Structure 1
Amino acid sequence: MIKKNVNLYCIYKMMKFISLFLFLTNLLCAQSQVSGNLKKLKYEELKNNFYNYYDNNKIEQSKSIAHFYLQKAKNEKNNLQIADGYILIHFNENYSNAFKYLDSVALVTKNLKGTIYPSQTYLMKGNLYYKYDNLKAALDNYILGLQYAKKQKNQKLTAYANMNIAYINSYIGKNLEAAKIFRYYLYRGNNITDDYQHNQIRIALISCYLEINKLDSADFLIKEGQESALIGKNKYNPNLYSYLSGTYNLKLKEYKTAIRKLSDAYIYFTNSKENTSANYALYNLGKAYEGEKNKEKVVETYIQLDSNVQKYDITFPELREAYTYLIDYYKEKNNTKKQLYYIDRFLKVDKKLDEQFQYLSTELPKKYDTPNLLQEKESIINELKNRKTILNVSVGFLLIILLLLSFLYYRSKKTEKQHRKIAQDLINSIEMKNLETPPVAQLITSPSPAIVQIETEEDKATEDKTSKITSEDITQLILKELEVFEAKELFLKKGITSSSLAKSIKTNTTYLSEVINTQKGKNFAAYLNDLRIDYALNRLIKDKKFRSYKLSVISEELGYNNDQAFSLAFKKKTGTTLSIYIKEIEKTHQSSINP
């Protein structure tokens, strides 16, 4: 019986060897056939084939083309193409090897004049640093690349450098600045960017719009991108737009839809080893579960996110929120070990982010800043080591709380004083305008005194470009309808949306949003809020009975669905609170009666 098993095992090993031999033979034949086909292609065609395979995650095929490209260039002793070959190869290499290939690019192109080098080399190094989360080094290289591109008067490389720096601005939270650059090149990228880069700019601009809550504009570009993604063969783009669409749903608090889209995107990104995109999808998925109030799923998601961060060392500022959530969760569960563990993780991530982003101090979570966490960490360690220190720790916490309360009291008083000053200025300004302008015209035309918008020449140029989407006749027709909408105070109607308004004036939401964005300088939600708040500011001064109404009645008369939405809109528009504004009106009227 043993002998029989041995014989079977020998037969199995021999069959396996034969199968492996046949496989290797076929592979070599296939590779020889591929090389024969590649010989017929020019350099530009080889590049196109490389990027087609690379973008579709076909690593081996792209590697073969890159090495063939380099060998072809070396055989022809073409230094410019040798440099391009090194660049193609570096895309599929690890961090260390990729830098060696880029160093080879610098060496080969050292004496080449009138080419895209050394600007291209610095930009490639910047991208590599960016990919591996070294933002400081990335920025340094982008700046060098930009300087050389300007010296060479190369518009394309200048554009690429500007856009790469815009990516960093977006990454550290400067989305308004980044959006200006992305919008400029999205609509002025002719002869500068190709279809692939145009798509990348659109994706970046969508991300900025989502961050600054320009949701109508983001939705428009997402739909545009999804349509273009259906045409191409690249599987990454449809999933990326699905992720952006899920993030858009998250912003709208459509949590179930967001969870479905973000989950699918995360699975794809993970399988495709798109680690950065996977981490962002996982973070937003956790936020969607937060919206659903599903604590267990939030914790499960953020734990997986922490695992990915440790595995790939890819961080981003929003990670702090994930760690503070885990810290709070385990604090509620009285699990000091887990709490201490995630405090340590927070501090490590926080230290790395602080080293790279000097501008992120304002982005720190309000509840957990680094000094407080360090002190809490120390108190937990001391408690675990020695119970006798509890009294001292308690006294320390009490002192901190007293100091914090004192600080909060002082800040609240200071804030209240500022709000009163803002309210007084608003009242004085509105009353002066009421004396100068007829009431109806005032309500229609006068902007809030707290809002001053300044357009740069660049913004005007960009608007001129984007406004071509809507013809001048349609624009003027919509503007006339909006005048009627404002004059008749139809904006007070509850539940009004861009769709319902577009339908009532016999147009579509795209045209309406475009006209409001370009002609009014704001999106539909901001436009509607501004009209309602301006109306409220005037009426509260004139109508004593209106001032006596409860908050719920005032908000309902202005067309808001709830008190909180009105209060937030009022504060955002004016910089003060409704209660303080009303109090200052009463004081003003009282002083005029009793001078």
Structure 2
Amino acid sequence: MITTRLLKVLLIFLFPFYLFAQVDQNHLKKLSYHNLQDLYFKNIGNQKKQLLYTNAYMAKAIQENNKIRKAKANYQIALFYYQSDKNKAIQYLDSVIKYSEGSNDKFFPAAAYCEKADFLKSQFKFKEAILNYNRAEKVALRTNLDYYYVVREYIAITKSEDLEEYNEALETYKECYNYYRTKDFRTEKYADDYQSVIFGIADCFKSLHNTDSTSFYNKLGYKESAITKNELFKYLFTLNEGANQILKKNYTAALDSINISLPMMIDHKDTANELAAYYYLGKAYDGLGKKEKAAENFIKVDSIYKVTKEISKEFIGGYPYLINYYKDLGEKEEQLKYITVYMNIDSILQNNYRKLNKLVKIEYDTPHLISEKENLINSLNSNIIKTRWGLGFLFLTTLSVGGFAFHQYRTKKQYRLRFEKLIRKRDTAENQKKIIDDERKIDHNKLEDIGISGEVVNQILEKLNQFEKQKEFLTSNITIQILSTTFETNSKYISKIVNVYKEKTFTQYLNDLRIEYAIHKLEADSKLRKYTIQALALEFGFNNAESFSSAFLKKTGLKPTYFIREVDLVKKI
């Protein structure tokens, strides 16, 4: 399916790894959120400065405990992970939703729900995606009617492009179309959305093989995009009409339209629609009986797939054509190559869409080449292979079961000893901490080693003490850079002082504070022990269940689930 879903302009806020530039922190602290955001965008291409202004924005939001600003900061960080780590992006979007829920902001948390839905779609979790779109539209209906219809279009796109629910999608597109018709739809504010909705209607009609209605809306969309001088949309409507002419069997007209639009797709690096253009060129040449030209274009589809590893069910039809094309030519190697690719794509799509019960239908008869190859493999030394595999499997199974049972016994024993030791030590931990804090003095030898004045060390230690007492370590997404901005000092100073006086890295120091607090709260509060691990992670300042479990295990030698279960047993006795 030809798509109008252009890549978002990601608000790439590079989440801090280290800070290079020395700046006047007091000056940054005085800047407004608007100023910090302007400075960020004025320094696109200068990652060091962008990083600096991002940290200041987040620090300001944390210091002022401004929930909606925390939400926006987390949103920008989530978009940073758009390409690299979708699960992490979803975790930051959950933080956006948490901070902005009930805020009456025009875009939050609705935008966060939409972004989360997009990420879920990329993981083929379509039901969860629709659920998040529904949450977004409920919020937007109350706070921002224009954005409500943007969300409605997202739902229509998902239903048409992913779920093949074309009639339902068409109804939603028409609902949006009627809304935009009441607006000044040729202004910059509404033109793109209006034309995108027209495209969605045309594409749905094409999928339903209603070619006359498809042509009507393609012509309307072309006219509107020409009036507003939107070149990309103009050529998208041209490409879509080319695909529609193939359904009408007007192959020459189809070639004209597709060849006009293809250069625009290439110039804009719109690989999804470039792939669509080559596919439809292949279909058009096939309709004209030009087999070699058809094969050339289907091969180009395959070359794009090899780079992007993305292809929809609509465009895999070129592979059966190539399989039969090379079969007729007697080129077995090429035939086998495209059989292998096609079967691999089919397997991926079957797996991704299995939950929807919409499996991809195999469109070709398995060639004799594959059948002969499989028969040969199955016949050679079959008895020897079966015997060896059987004995090997039996031996490995016995060894694995025995090893697993012994490992489980040792693990349970070790866990129990660790739990008992942890409970015994916890009662004296507070007193020991007070003694250590009272006896700790500024060590002048250490001062010489780290090269920081005693006055600065005292100030930072006192601020760290307040940081601990006020439980600020429970703030999610806190970093040494954000803390240095809050403390009005240098992040390297904090790092060195934590290393020397806390005798651990900053990350270890932060995680240990959180885990020590978690141990205390879990033992004292029976309600907390009923929380999920994900909920506990957020409660104690971690971004996800995995990082909380890992830090808990590293600190105590126990998994949090085991600790909670044993505490419950002890409390019941």
TM-score, normalised relative to structure 2? 0.49
